[in-house]
Amino acid sequence: AQKITQTQPGMFVQEKEAVTLDCTYDTSDQSYGLFWYKQPSSGEMIFLIYQGSYDEQNATEGRYSLNFQKARKSANLVISASQLGDSAMYFCAMSPNAGGTSYGKLTFGQGTILTVHP
C-alpha cells in the first residue's frame, strides 16, 4: 500500500519569498510517480508538477520545483517568488506506476494550506 504524509497543516509566507511544502511517502513499489496539486477555495484540483521515481533530475515547472530525495522518500514542493494567488490548499499525491497507467488511482496526502501575506 502507498501512503503520503504531509506534516504541515498550514504554512505562511510573505509575498515574493520562497516556500517549501513537505511531503514524505511510503511505498514498496520500485516504479511510482509523485504529483503536486493545488486546490483553491473554488474546489478544483489543479495539476502543478510531476516526478517519476526513475527521474534523476528534479522536476521544474515555472515557479514550481520538486525537491526529490529518493533515499529519504521525500518529494517537497518549492514555490519561488510567492504570489497572493498562490494561497490555496496543496496536495501531494503518488501513483503506483511511473511508466504508464496508475491502475486507476492516486493516493493523496492530507494537504497543506498555504497563505501568502502581502
Closest CB to another protein among 101 and 118? Answer: 101
Q: How far is the CB of 33 from another protein (least distance, A)?
A: 6
Write down the residue that cell numbers 515555472 correspond to: 62
Residue 75's closest CA among 16, 1, 14, 2?
Answer: 2
Q: How far is the CB of 17 from another protein (least distance, A)?
A: 27
Closest CB to another protein among 32 and 76? Answer: 32
Cell readout for 34 is 509523485
42 C-beta neighbours (distance < 10 Å), count: 7
Q: Which parts of this chain interact with another protein (CB under 8 A)?
A: 33, 35, 37, 42-47, 50, 52, 91, 93, 95, 97-111
Cα torsion for 34, 38, 22, 100, to the nearest 10°?
A: 0
DSSP state of 30: S
Q: How far is the CB of 35 from another protein (least distance, A)?
A: 7
Closest CB to another protein among 42 and 118? Answer: 42
Closest CB to another protein among 25 and 35? Answer: 35
